[in-house]
Amino acid sequence: MTGAQRAVRPAEVSAAIRSSFAVGLAVAAYGISFGALAVAAGLDVWQTCVLSLLMFSGGSQFALVGVLATGGTAAGGAAIASAVLLGARNSLYALRVAPMIGPGVAKRLLAGHWTIDESTAVSTGQPTLASQRAGFWWTGAIIYVGWNLTTLIGALIGDQLGDVSQYGLDAAAAAAFLGLLWPRLKQAQPIVVAIGAAVVAAMLMPVLPAGIPVLAATVVAIVVGLTNWWGTRESDIVEAEPDPMGER
Amino acid sequence: MNVWTIILLASIAVLALKLLGFLVPAAWAEKPTAARLASLLTVSLLAALIVVQSFGSARGFEVDARLPAVLVAAILFALRVPFIIVIVAAALVAAGIRAFL
């Protein structure tokens, strides 16, 4: 390839970068709600920012502060377990992303850190290797920078608010989980699991310590997942696809 | 455990799970049971978290201003309203009910 050819960006790569911006900017915006909710849950601004910098996985971060908000540090074990279980899907995303990243330890470490719903969705949706790479790195970079900036802004706002329930922030946390769940409810099987898990959690809440009902509800997913009740052959493929919030 | 310990342990574990995917053979990604389990685990945790966050209280289970707020959020998500606007709307509904009722 000559220098002149390299300077021209293929149309697929340009399209991938445009998708990255569309998805990335929309997703980065809700770091504000994470920052505010984390501070409301009792974290300080530093702790909130370290979560976004180091954990960098929205669902896991919301889960960790959600369990801490209801159970405090006594529910620390359950909070960690919830975050880790919610992060399990990232392992599968990484399997799909790894071939397009190529060799190099530093590059693969950074790619691993940026392997989330959105970077996986944008990259795997592209037609060529070059556009897949562009989609992955641009989406990862835009969301990493944006998510951490908006987390800081949200944490500073939350820090000023004081009484959480007066501003409805506890309801906002529930709505945030609903927003993360919503795009996953397109088929019978996940809908059945969602309803079953909700019922299990509701029944166990009055009798078990905070955090445990959330973990216990995963039994529904394990039973349905292993037996493939309510499943279809196509659902195996479709359900594995991440669905970025930014596409809504 | 203090808050910093919880944050660092959870963050390292979540990061390790991502990196794990770069170490094992790519063929594992094609296993339908693994993909289905990961997807359904996510769904079950989020559904349980919605319930805990909507009804949780010091007394165990409580219906209050959060329920109408979450119902409004569900309607807005169904109408494909953007995430951040739905979150603000849910907060306003709960705050409004608490302020005026």
Q: State pLDDT tens for residues A195-217.
A: 999 999 999 999 988 889 999 99
Is the CB of residue B48 less than 8 Å from the CB of residue A200? yes
Given a contact cutoff of 8 angstroms between Cβ atoms, the answer to whether A25 and B83 are in contact is no
- CA-nearest of A41, A70, A79, A173 to B10 is A79
- Who's near B4: CB < 8 A, 6+ residues apart? A47
Alpha-carbon distance of A44 to A40, in angstroms, equals: 9
**Tokens read off for A226:** 């292993």
- Residue to mutate among A95, A181, A241, with most B CBs inside 10 A, is A95
Do the Cβ atoms of A175 and A55 come closer than 8 Å? no
Please list every residue in chain A whose beta carbon sits closer than 8 Å to the beta carbon of residue B91.
Answer: 167-169, 171-172, 175
Amino acid identity, residue A144?
A: Y
User: pLDDT value at position A70?
Assistant: 87
**B14 token code pair:** 């979540």
Domain boundaries of chain B, sorted by first residue: 31-100
pLDDT for position B98 = 93
Q: Give per-residue pLDDT as tens, A153-169.
A: 999 999 888 777 788 88
Q: Which chain B residues are closer than 8 Å to A32 by Cβ?
A: 84
Condensed to tens digits (0 to 9), the pLDDT of residues A12-68 reads 999 999 989 888 887 777 788 899 999 999 999 999 999 999 999 999 999 999 999
DSSP SS3 for A57? coil
Q: Identify residue B15 by its one-letter amino acid code.
A: L
For residue A227, which amino acid is it? T
Distances A15 to A8, A9, A132, A142, B26 between C-alpha atoms, Å: 14, 10, 10, 15, 27
Per residue in B21-66, pLDDT tens?
Answer: 898 876 666 678 888 888 899 899 999 999 999 998 877 889 999 9
CB of B58 less than 8 A from some CB of A: no
CB distance B36–A220 less than 8 Å? no
Contact assignment for A228 to B36 by CB distance below 8 Å: yes
How far apart are alpha carbons A63 and A117 in whole angstroms? Answer: 16
B16 CB near a chain A CB, below 8 Å?
no
**Residue B8 confidence (pLDDT):** 97
Cα–Cα distance between A246 and A145 in angstroms, integer? 16
Phi, psi of A163 (to 5 degrees): -60, 120
Most distant CA pair in chain B, distance:
58
Nearest CA to A224 out of A201, A197, A243, A199 is that of A197
For residue A124, is pLDDT > 60? yes
- Neighboring chain A residues of B94 at a CB cutoff of 8 Å: 165, 168, 170-172
Residues of B in contact with A29 (CB under 8 A): 83-84
Smallest CA-to-CA distance from A49 within A191, A168, A185, A154 is with A154
> Does residue A185 surpass a pLDDT of 60?
yes
- Cα A212 to chain center, whole Å? 21
Quote the pTM value. Answer: 0.84
Q: Please give the ipTM for the structure prediction.
A: 0.92
**Residue A179 · residue B83 · CB < 8 Å:** yes
A242: helix, strand or coil: coil
Q: Which amino acid is at A79?
A: A
Nearest CA in chain B to A186: B43
Q: What tokens does A67 get?
A: 């369990």
DSSP strands (E only) in chain A:
none
